[in-house]
Structure 1
Amino acid sequence: MSTNAQQPSLSNQELDVLVVGAGFGGAYQLYRLRQAGFSVKVFESASNLGGTWYWNCYPGSRVDSDFSIYQFSMEELWKDWSWSERFPGQKELVEYFDYVDKKLDLRRDITFDTRVTAAHFDTTTNRWVVTTQNGITVRPRFLILCTGFASKPLIPDYKGLGTFKGVIHHTSRWPQEGVKWAGKRVGVIGTGASGVQVIQECGPDVSHLTVFQRTPNLALPMVQRKLDEKAQKKMKEEMYPYIFRRRLQTFGGFHFDTIKTSLFDLTPEELYLELDELWSKGGFHFWLGAHFDTFTDERANDELYAFWQKKVKARINDPEMQRKLAPIVAPHPFGTKRPCLEQRYYEVYNQPNVTLIDINENPISEITPKGVKTRDGVEHELDILVLATGFDAVTGSIAQIDIRGTDGVLIGEKWGKGLSTYLGLTSANFPNMFFLYGPHGPTAFCNGPTCAEIQGDWIVDCLKYMRDKHFTRIEPKKAAEDGWVKKVNEIFSAGLWNKAKSWYTGANVPGKVIESLNFTGGVPLYLQMCREVVEKGYEGFVLSGTQDTPRPHL
């Protein structure tokens, strides 16, 4: 249920802070900023809290982090909440947000069904002028964008896409009431995380399933299990505080870390047994819990892929399916595209009613009123077409908004020439604007709530510092921004990431600059670098007061 009774009184209001988005990042910012005594409101385009978990309501939608760390770390929240599964599904996550809302009384400061369309910085008042599609205008001192890294769907430009007469939905815009597909002919374009989840969910129920695959997903076993409330109670009493602190010490903000020694320090027997143990643990242990040199050394990476290929191939019956789903030669270095977690994905392809089209060999030529036609002239007739085609990730969520800074240039135009941020939190010429879980942060390599809290705390502490020192404006220097971009790219180039065509680099979006969109140095290094900036008096920023001439604060 949305609460928008406050909309009329919001117009023309001057706030300390406007937060855009009510997922993990936005909810945490609202809670912490209110604690700190700031006047703050949240605009959310959906009808409820949850961010990605509101929108991604397709069947099978599920998180890829263990329950213990995919939640807020505040004791007042976790002590009274218990999860039902190791990897919670979308419905349970929506229930969790409802619980958090009631506990923290968030809803009273959130305006739902309100999409921000423009934000222009007024240099005469040092405030943002923010407008929405439903006619609200507010003037916050600070603008914090918690729009998530995957909220701008990528819709392929297929010929005839609008002519299809059946049911068609992008996974991130799935109808809340659901779609009935039992006994239907279903086509799925894309085999990223949402594609894998939809395919394994619908496979047993449909009359025929046609999957259009560009790149095989190097998916990992989820090893899902039901949870016992008594065991969770013991974890809360003995483990939770340590688990939450441990997140800040690991590469990906998880409760486990990469192995720092080389994979080649092991004998072949030791290596096999170690990889088998990581595999059996499920989740991302085989990826973010493996040897770190698998990210930088192709020979080490090949060892991981060979093990993965052997395990997956054994689950697929047909040799042609094996070739397409688990090829002998890796389609890209393992882990340089985010793996997804699966439960029965590969078994779906053993069903006689499943067709797998490799669109590299046989591309989609057009969408017809009846279905999908491929280059070989075959028309695959469908009742339902699922677009699991991903997102204009990391930057697209922000760049789609008309945001203009001191020079009048759109943020999307600036970043269209090459991504530039400072600390993955700010961008030059856009004063008093922060973003989290987005461009140049640990984003794609970090547990979501972990990232939201790490960056969220930094932002709130910065605003408190400014208030205490009577500053009303903060902006990064261009030189500091250039230095951060250089550092991000240096770390990125030391790994194997650029050997894959992925949303990590924007390569999935036609015309987008291919570059590192994330900080790939890990959470501990990111934390250290952000803390050093603060310890040096917010080095790299210019802070100023309303009537003051802007001056460097070193």
Structure 2
Amino acid sequence: MPTLVDAVIVGAGFAGLRSLHTLRAIGLSAVVLEASDGVGGVWYHNQYPGARCDVESFDYSYRFSPELEQEWRWSERYATQPEILRYINHVADRFDLRRDIRLDTRVASARFNEDSSRWIVTAEDGRVWDAERLILAVGQLSTPKDTSYPGQDSFAGRIISSARWPKDHVDFAGKRVAIIGTGSSGVQMTPVIAAQAAQLTVFQRTANYSIPAANAPVSDEEDAAVKARYAERREAARNSPSGLGFVPDTRAAIDVPEDERNAAYEAAWHRLGFGFALTFKDILLNADSNATASAFIKRKIAEQVDDPAVLATLTPGDFPFGTRRPSVDSGYFQAFNRDNVRLVDISKTPIERFTADGIRTTAEDFAFDIVIYATGFDAFTGSLLKPEIVGRGGQTLREKWAAGPASFLGIGVHGFPNMFVIVGPGSPSLLSNVLLSSEEQIDWLAALFTHARDRGITEIEATETAERDWVAHVNERAEETLYLKTPSYYLGAEMPGKPRVFMPYSGGVRGYRRILERTAASGYEGFALRTAEQSAVA
């Protein structure tokens, strides 16, 4: 017999745990289904050397409990993966969340029952849950690309994925190591592995911009100062464009005198990390203003790399800064000054195959003991489309999204009543402090569920019109930016055959929250709210 619950939550990362805690608080029963054997989502799996958050620890943390805010002590301004995972586990224990989490439980299918307006969720091991609400909190960067090359099975060494890092200790001492990929994972692990390995070869397809992490220990004085005004800090973050807590200079970068502009960039370079892109309001909107930021960063890269040929390969091309998600590093560029580190440009000499000893490019053979794939993820939709999700009339979510994801507010999908997505496509998600954005959506959904319960509503479904209008609005806002000028995972360009549509909402955290508030104030216009009787004739 299926287990009856008010809500099934898929995913035990930050968003899944927050959803569970919040639904409990409004009196709903919920269960979290998690495919892994531990909580933490991306922070559970991405345990590669150097893994670190690009949002400040004080902001990349839950806001729902003032007591939690005061008692948890962050050690660094930008926390490493082990510290973030300790925090997540502390939250799971402190709020007694584990009793409603089912680990090692991979969802095989979720089917909407049109007779009961409920979801039947089936795990791969055959267990079944019957729930009024289905909440997908699966993350945006949680399905690694299935990257492989011919001959991979013949390689005598060890192959590791950065996104599924092994639990045993990986010893690089005396080893010849390859890293394929120079996104955030590759950038973060390169200097760490370079300091341990006998030889490190980095295979780069596209040079990207990277900003210093500006990390530092959190002093007792800084900790006390933040905690004394934590509520104000949270509100500043909620009312900022990015959720990072600061507002860009309201002037166009190109209009600011060069000396003053460079001084602002210099200050941002040493403090803002990922937030560098918001030094001025129009860096991601105006090509001329963006060019000033791009040129500054390229000068900074040049200051860190000794070899002119290596520098030429590491210097980003003509695409605007920030239109691919920039990395945040701790000594990445300087690592290529080491005698034991080599950079290979596979846009010029592609990888042909693995050999028994290593990797063959079109130019030469390389011998390795360890090869690391740091090749990224099937972003935004990869994890959402893994299980078979079947909505009204037998339509699957994969069929619905064949031409690209469509939703209302990035939360509800027409044809899939009572299904809700947390920080998925169509919401600020990866263009924001994603933890803040997830909490905004979860609190909003809790209010929607309470509204529905108080009125006898059993079915909540985005209308076709609202969904169509929201997709148009997402595209209109994207067209105001420079994002469309660069192939990236924002556009689905990271996967062959993936629809090339703009995935996140670029209207900002503050603007998006105001839309959520207006929608709630209107009685949730854009959603069809039906009683059981109305559902029967819908």
TM-score range, shorter chain: over 0.9
| Pick aligned residue for 2:294 from 305, 319, 326 | 305
Deviations 1:192-240 (A, max 9, x none): 0001111111011111111110111200011111112343123212x21
User: In 1, are the aligned partners of 2:209 and 2:326 still within 8 Å (CA)?
Assistant: yes
More displaced stretch, 411-420 vs 179-188: 411-420
For structure 2, the 5+ residue unaligned runs are none
1:341 aligned onto 2:328: yes
1:393 and 2:379 are equivalent in the alignment: yes
Please give the residue correspondences for 1:364-379 in structure 2 after superposition, counting only pairs within 5 Å: 364-376=351-363, 378-379=364-365
Which residue does 1:212 correspond to in 2? 203
Q: Is residue 2:98 matched to residue 1:107? A: yes
Alignment of 1:95-494 (within 5 A): 95-237=86-228, 239-288=229-278, 290-327=279-316, 330-376=317-363, 378-494=364-480
Secondary structure of residue in 2 paired with 1:223: coil
* CA shift digits 1:158-206 (9 cap, x unpaired): 2223332211111111112231111101101100000111111101111
C-alpha distance in 2 between matches for 1:479 and 1:161: 48
Paired residues of 2:459 and 2:535 also in contact (CA < 8 A): no
AA partner of residue 495 (structure 1):
T
Answer whether contact 2:15 2:435 (CA < 8 A) is retained.
yes
Shift of 1:264: 2.4
Moved more, 537-546 or 140-149: 537-546
Partner letter of residue 321 of structure 1?
V
The alignment covers a number of residue pairs equal to 537
Match in the other structure for 2:531? 545
Say if 2:277 and 2:284, in contact at 8 Å, map to a contact too.
Answer: no
Say if 2:244 and 2:275, in contact at 8 Å, map to a contact too: no
Q: Give the match's secondary structure for 1:518.
A: coil
Say if 1:118 and 1:401, in contact at 8 Å, map to a contact too: yes
1:458 Cα deviation from its structure 2 partner = 1.1
- 1:73-109: per-residue Cα shift (whole Å, max 9, x none)? 1202111010111111111111101211222111111
User: Does residue 501 of structure 1 match 2:487?
Assistant: yes
**How much does 1:65 deviate?**
0.6
Q: TM-score, normalised by structure 1?
A: 0.95
Compute the displacement of 1:551 (Å): 8.4
User: Normalising to structure 2: TM-score of the pair?
Assistant: 0.97
Stretches of structure 1 lacking an aligned partner (at least 5 in a row): 1-10
Cα distance in 2 for residues equivalent to 1:264 and 1:514? 31
- 1-structure distance, mates of 2:469, 2:272: 38
TM-superposition CA deviations, 1:277-322 (whole Å, max 9, x none): 111224123213x112111111111110110000111110000011
Residue 156 of structure 2 aligns to which amino acid in structure 1?
K
Contact 1:424/1:435 (<8 A) preserved: yes
Tell me which amino acid in the other structure corresponds to 1:65.
V
Q: Shift of the alpha carbon at 1:521?
A: 0.7
User: Hey, what's the Cα distance between the residues in 2 that align with 1:165 and 1:448?
Assistant: 40
What is the CA distance between 1:34 and its match in structure 2? 0.3
Distance apart, 1:543 and its partner CA: 1.3
Identity over aligned pairs, percent: 36
1:251-283 CA-to-partner distances (Å, cap 9, x unmatched) read 111111222221122111111111111112241
Contact 1:544 1:550 (8 Å CA) reproduced: no
